[in-house]
Structure 1
Amino acid sequence: MVKQERAACTRRTVVRAAAAEFDRGGYDGTSLQRICRAAGISTGALTFHFPTKDKIACAVQERGDALTRAETDRAVALPASPLRRARALVLAIARLLEKETAVRAAARLSRELPGGADWAQAWLPQLRGLLHQAHAEGQLRAATDPRTVTLLAAYLIAGVDAHLHRRGGARAPGLQESQEPQESVVVGEESPGPVEQLARVWDLVLYGVSPAGPAQERTQGPAAP
């Protein structure tokens, strides 16, 4: 039992370290040696659990996908209209990208490993379903194609991911959210964080395609996160 617990702990340590390395350097820029140094283990110990870099990448993707599916399920289960749940889901995915290294790594690996796991499939089908439901219930204009809105959401999430990688991923350890350094759009002014920025853009999209005004739509259920 002790050996099993130690082995499970080692695997978790390796996956966390590998996620950080893949997030930082991508698949090609990450070596087994870098992962060993980050995890604080020998090459022999690493290959005992993960014989190849592909196996480690797969474990990181599985971790990122599991976190994403859990958050997706929570957003979809909210007691709100389909359109509000779609908003909650988009923001939840952006928040995961900001806070979870394994999620950013899974998203990056899915781009860099053709034929591998597609991270977007952990949340995109559910978003598409919510938007089709919203359209069927008259929450989108009749001429609005839910597939196009889904595609727009995918582009917005990709933009958040790119923004986070440009600024170096998650906030530095020890910084509180209110203390997080922000990139200024105007000199001398602080811009909101990426999740708040996405919320503003998404609301602009929703109220541009919805027949209901913002006040009416916001009364159709509890406020989404």
Structure 2
Amino acid sequence: MIDFSSLNQVQQAARSMIQRDLRFLYTVIRNVDPSKSNYIPSLLPYLGVIVDGAEDWVKSVNNSCKNKLPIPQFTMDEEKFYEQIRTSVKLWQLDYNKIYDLLEQAYSESNDYFGNMCNPIAKKWHLYDIYGVDTVNGALCGNTILCKYYSPFFQYNGNNGEYIKSMTEIGGGYIALFDAVKVYQADDSLKFNMCDYGGLVKSPVGNDFSDKFVLFSILCQINFLIFCINR
């Protein structure tokens, strides 16, 4: 744990806010099973904001203080990873047409990948799933097209889970150093479920990309904030 006693009041307030954010990440780590939902990929933009922001804050403090805070520095690969996922949160700051184009690109990549995995007849009749949807207590809270956008490094044939795990180890270091290892009380009434759409289970917004899917993704994002973060 770092000795923050030399910080001024403003810096102490900032440290306290960072610690609370890191406690949130620690609570997620202790409570979320990555195999049962896409919660972690959906959370990546916020992970980037919290961890990359913590590093930026420490650099700023070290530039202005005589006593340097001994905190881990990002490797080049980690720097790239956190910059990518932190930038992805800016999707919703773009104008609608740009959001449409970016989600359409991710949707098309998913459609092409899963379409090419099936036999010609199934592909012709569109008998394959295009994307998955996460629900929490029945509320639509995420989809794999959004997850694809939030994960610029994602490869359909790659071991993305192991890559994320290796890149987020430094986040655990920040959690420990900021003494953010107390779990917030979690809502154990939340029930996570997943369902694939596009094949035998037709998408409620149609199997062709359209404005409906963009609006559906906006709804997923709003519900994710309500049900999965602000609880």
What TM-score, normalized by structure 2, do the two folds share? 0.32
* Higher normalized strand content (fraction of residues): 2
Higher helix fraction: Structure 1 or Structure 2?
1
TM-score (norm 1): 0.32
